Amino acid sequence: MPHAPEPDDLDATAPPQPVFHVEQALLGALLLDPHRLGDVRGIAADSFSTAAHAALYAAITTLPPPDPAEHAKNTAWLDRVLATGREQACALTASYLHTLIQVCPWPRHAPAYARIVEAEHARRHLEKAAERLVQTAHDVSLPHPVQTVLTEADALAAVVDDIASHFPPRAGVLPRTPTPPPVLPADHTEALEEEQLLLATATAHPADVGHVQWLLPEDLTFPLHAGLWQCLTTLVRRHEPVDPVTILWEAQQRGLLDDPTEPGDVLHLLAEPAGSVEHWSERALQRSLLATAAQTGRRIQAYADDSTNTPFQLVVGARRSLADISAIRTRWQHATGTIPTPRPRSASPARAGPPPTPAVAASPAASRSR
């Protein structure tokens, strides 16, 4: 987020972010006409972008409102607001309170100012939740990375649902923010080796490929590996012979052998099986799920960081992005045999993303992968 003035720097020139000026206008309106607090909805002290503004709003909403006639005659109530606010932001000054009153264009517009503050708070909240998802997806120290990441994704979905309850999305209004490109992990040696073992083991045991139908080509990290997996699964589906040579021929038909890929390298890659198809497939799917979560978080961060997106657009864009996690979560549940029993419908707002997938019996693939 852009830097906002610290509480001890209130007299400095305000940064150009519009929300800072909106917050000043709202606080000025409430200081001038405290009775307008009854018209303000949807915000709290933590909705403000600076500690000083949050402290002032908390003081205004905590103290009993003054008598209008007395408030017009003296500054007694303003003095109490200042004293209460300084308990949280000690650098607040009387001159800053008077500045707030002076910069407020129209106190009667306080509800509109509050709505803008609420929208910007929603943007910041969404950005932080998306950032936490990205950080969690990249945390290699987690003992149970998939479950932890999915829990964080659920928390992000809850933030989106909360925003939607205040800013119901409008059909067809999508963010125009460019999608950030996928990021390949800095150390991808493990992915390279495991995907090669998957391809070689599946080539040696093609009958086991039918047990891992939940693994898709796009789950593999490297384009060549994804293409070879598609070649292999296509041969299995056609009930054609599967071995390194037939896969090599299928790869040529699909244009996978362009430079710098050498036929001999492909044959060598497919000729060294180890372990089981189910094990390497589950490893690839886990890696894909974490990468999908990280990419989803980055996309939502990009949406929230783009000030041209309205809250309505943020909700639509975030829900579409979270649908990618929902889809791969379902495949992970099939792979590991952890498909939950659907909960009864409630009157609460629908979760971000597509509806939950109905429970189905565990497939042979799930049983064999446990």
Q: Which of 16-30, 160-174, 201-215, 322-336 has the lowest mean pLDDT?
A: 160-174
- Cα 215 → chain centroid: 24
pLDDT given at position 170: 74
Q: pTM for the full model?
A: 0.82
Give the span between the Cα atoms of 83 and 85, in whole angstroms. Answer: 6
In this predicted structure, the answer to whether residue 74 has a pLDDT above a threshold of 50 is yes
| Burial class, 91, CB count within 10 angstroms (exposed 0-12 / middle 13-18 / buried 19+) | middle
Domain ranges of the chain: 7-105, 119-370
Tokens read off for 319:
């829900």
Tokens 């008077």 belong to 98
Give the span between the Cα atoms of 252 and 136, in whole angstroms. Answer: 39
The better pLDDT of the pair 56, 181 is held by 56
Q: Which of 62-66, 84-88, 167-171 has the lowest mean pLDDT?
A: 167-171
CB 216, CB 208: distance < 8 Å: no
pLDDT-based confidence at residue 2 (cuts at 50, 70, 90): very low
Give the residue-averaged pLDDT of 178-194. 83
The better pLDDT of the pair 244, 359 is held by 244
Give the span between the Cα atoms of 307 and 326, in whole angstroms. Answer: 27
| pLDDT tens digits, 263-287 | 999 999 999 999 999 999 999 999 9
The better pLDDT of the pair 176, 347 is held by 176
In this predicted structure, the answer to whether residue 366 has a pLDDT above a threshold of 60 is no
3-state SS, the chain, equals CCCCCCHHHCCCCCCCCHHHHHHHHHHHHHHHCHHHHHHCCCCCHHHCCCHHHHHHHHHHHHCCCCCHHHHHHCCHHHHHHHHHHHCCCCCCCHHHHHHHHHHCCCHHHHHHHHHHHHHHHHHHHHHHHHHHHHHHHCCCCCCCHHHHHHHHHHHHHHHHHHHHHHCCCCCCCCCCCCCCCCCCCCCCHHHHHHHHHHHHHHHHCHHHHHHHCCCCHHHCCCHHHHHHHHHHHHHHHCCCCCCHHHHHHHHHHCCCCCCCCCHHHHHHHCCCCCCCHHHHHHHHHHHHHHHHHHHHHHHHHHHHHCCCCCHHHHHHHHHHHHHHHHHHHHHHHHHHCCCCCCCCCCCCCCCCCCCCCCCCCCCHHHHHHC
Greatest mean pLDDT range, 166-175, 313-322, 333-342: 313-322
Handedness of CA 256, 259, 261, 262 (dihedral sign): positive
Domain 119-370 is found in CATH 2.60.40.1180: no
What percent of the chain stands above pLDDT 70?
Answer: 85
Average pLDDT of the residues of the chain: 88
